[in-house]
């Protein structure tokens, strides 16, 4: 079993819709949760970072963490065609400081 | 701030040759840099952790004699793929962690696409 599970998609939504992405993880030692966006043939860029259960909002992006269920989510409101990319969740623990476990990445396509 | 560059961005080489990829933190010091490999439509797989002034730590299954890592300064780490073969063709991405911070954040380079013929 992979430590981090993420549906690879593709997920296709119309412009303006809410994009809902999620990951599940198996190790309760994970305490740091990140979401990265990766455009084709580019390196990942950090979107959201959190280390506690609950919601964290940044503009059109909301990250949600439920440690009891080992489930994390990313919501993108008012999606734009420029949001079309692959979104990767990344999780880390203090035991393996700096070593991230990445999800497979979900490809998102926002159609005009 | 927190920009990481990689050079080259793309390289094509013949089987059996060695290829060096550079990873630089441009505006910050990085005591730790990470090297990842990403195959098409797959996620990033950590290859090794590189600490300035010490030997790299390799993940299970990654051959340290094939993937040579040198982290000679706080702003530069290099990955050398020795005797490259077509199966080494992949997207290699480095990341750097800010020195002296307590939070767990990595800044990624733009990646290097290696094609071995």
Distances (CA, A) of B111 to A44, A45, A101, A106, B35: 9, 12, 18, 19, 10
pLDDT at residue number A30: 82
Mean of the per-residue pLDDT values for chain B? 90
Contact A5, A72 (CB under 8 A): no
User: Which residues touch A59 (CB under 8 Å, ≥6 apart)?
Assistant: none
Average pLDDT value for residue range B86-107: 83
Average pLDDT value for residue range B11-32: 93
Query: Is 80 exceeded by the pLDDT of residue A91?
Result: yes
- Condensed to tens digits (0 to 9), the pLDDT of residues B57-95 reads 999 999 999 999 998 888 999 999 999 999 999 999 999
When scoring B43, B58, B91, B97 by the number of chain A Cβ atoms within 10 A, the one with the most, hence best to mutate, is B43
In angstroms, rounded to a whole number, what is the distance separating the alpha carbons of residues A103 and B91? 17
Residue A37: other Cβ atoms inside 10 A:
20
pLDDT at residue number A32: 87
Query: Is 60 exceeded by the pLDDT of residue B102?
Result: no
In angstroms, rounded to a whole number, what is the distance separating the alpha carbons of residues B15 and B12? 10
pLDDT range class, residue A63, cuts 50, 70, 90: very high
Residues of A with CB under 8 A from a CB of B: 6, 8, 32, 34, 36, 41-46, 49, 51, 88, 92, 97-100, 102-105
Query: Is 90 exceeded by the pLDDT of residue A20?
Result: yes
pLDDT at residue number A8: 84
Contacts of B44 in chain A (CB under 8 A): 44, 88, 100, 102
Query: Is 60 exceeded by the pLDDT of residue A31?
Result: yes
pLDDT at residue number A2: 75
pLDDT range class, residue B41, cuts 50, 70, 90: confident
Residue B16, burial from CB neighbour count under 10 angstroms (0-12, 13-18, 19+): exposed
């Amino acid at each position: 079993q992979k430590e981090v599970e993420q549906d690879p998609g593709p997920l296709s939504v119309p412009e303006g819709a809410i994009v809902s992405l999620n990951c599940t993880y198996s190790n309760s030692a994970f305490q740091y949760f990140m979401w990265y966006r990766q455009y084709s043939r580019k390196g990942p860029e950090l979107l959201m970072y959190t280390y506690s259960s609950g919601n964290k909002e940044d503009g059109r992006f909301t990250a949600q963490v439920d440690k009891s269920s080992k489930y994390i989510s990313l919501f993108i409101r008012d999606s734009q065609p420029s949001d079309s990319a692959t979104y990767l969740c990344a999780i880390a623990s203090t035991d393996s400081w700096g070593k991230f476990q990445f999800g497979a990445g979900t490809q998102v396509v926002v159609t005009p | 701030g927190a920009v990481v560059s990689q050079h080259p961005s793309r390289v094509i080489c013949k089987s059996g040759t060695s290829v060096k990829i550079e990873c630089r933190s441009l505006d910050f010091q990085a005591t730790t840099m990470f090297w990842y490999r990403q195959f098409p439509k797959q996620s990033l797989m950590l290859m090794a952790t590189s600490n300035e002034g010490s030997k790299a730590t390799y993940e299970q299954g990654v051959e340290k004699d094939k993937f040579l890592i040198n982290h000679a300064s706080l702003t530069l780490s290099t990955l050398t793929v020795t005797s490259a073969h077509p199966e080494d063709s992949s997207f290699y991405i480095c990341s750097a962690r800010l020195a002296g911070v307590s939070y767990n954040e990595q800044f990624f380079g733009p990646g290097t696409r290696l094609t071995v013929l």
